[in-house]
Structure 1
Amino acid sequence: DEDRGIIRRQRVYRRLLMTMGMYRDGDTEEDFAYVRNYRNMIQGELSEMFPCELQVHSSSAFLILEENCRLGRTFPEENTLSDIVLLLYQLLQEEIRTGRVEVPLDEQIRLPKENFQRLVEKCKEQFGVGFNKTYREMTFAEFYREVYDYMENLMMIEQAYGDIYIRSAAGKIMGKYPEDFGKEDKGDE
């Protein structure tokens, strides 16, 4: 029985270790219950191997690595695409705070594709001067494809029925430039 015993345990650990997060849905209900019931044991076993913290929420679970821990691919990475996604999450969190975007009970935000594209476009317009030359000079279509592919590859988003579903990791992290970002140096005024 794949929903019990060692096979389920291996599947749960693999999902926690190899993905951006574990999300509760119809297909993962049993696995998510396992994480909730055995969170202390899982935390203990994994923290013996490397510095990490297991965070379990009502509809998601995340394995958070300490800053100096490098275990395969992590997010954020040290690249411009990671920075762009973090800045995009800042804009998304602002949309949530102002009530323009609602977070449903399952914490998975659903946006029409056009709204998601507008958010990515706003990110490029607002923060683009801080990106490296490659991303600054891309057309919006190229920029959007790069950001979308990166986020999809890391399982931060999923497209279905013409909508973009943004995973709950968007509520846990964001990036921000300093307050004086983009302002010209005024000298000794």
Structure 2
Amino acid sequence: MNQRNLNDLSDGDLVRLEARLRSEFQHRGLIRTSSDLMGEIAEYAAHAVYGGQLMMPGYASADLVDASGRRIQIKSRTLDPIAERHFGFSSQDFDVAVCLRFERATNKLQWAREYELDELMGLWSKHSQGYRLTTGKAKKYGRDVTARFEEVLGQMDSTTSPHLGQPPAQG
């Protein structure tokens, strides 16, 4: 496969290809963990859902400031279907959190939930590096925004977005 063939693939096809490549890399012993591609895709999708400005990568308190000025923290996990882990938060310096869970074998969105900070504070546990919200609690509570994210992610199958790498806003 050459570069021209990759350019002809839709964004959705590229995401599925990445999942297959990651599996092959693990099978060959080239990597031990999954990459953070879906974290980047989650932020891209949140920007499409909420509007506003993406923050600089590494900005600890928020990933996005939406059109109404809310600071939104985006968290994603890419896991095997039965795996339970946690979403880690390093601070409480945001207004809304959105947690997304993707299925490891296909990178397909399993669910997405939105939380106001006050609600989240009653769900997470304190940890030496901040706060943790288990994926089980994350799925059970919050507002279900899966359909909104599925709509955006579904559009990736028919687009090749030159703006995926747009410069983020300064934090």
Q: TM-score range by the shorter chain?
A: under 0.3
The two structures have a TM-score, normalised by structure 2, of 0.25
Which structure is larger by alpha-carbon Rg, 1 or 2? 1
Kindly indicate which of the two structures has a greater share of residues assigned to strand: 2
The two structures have a TM-score, normalised by structure 1, of 0.24
Kindly indicate which of the two structures has a greater share of residues assigned to helix: 1
| Greater relative contact order structure (CA < 8 Å, 6+ sep) | 2
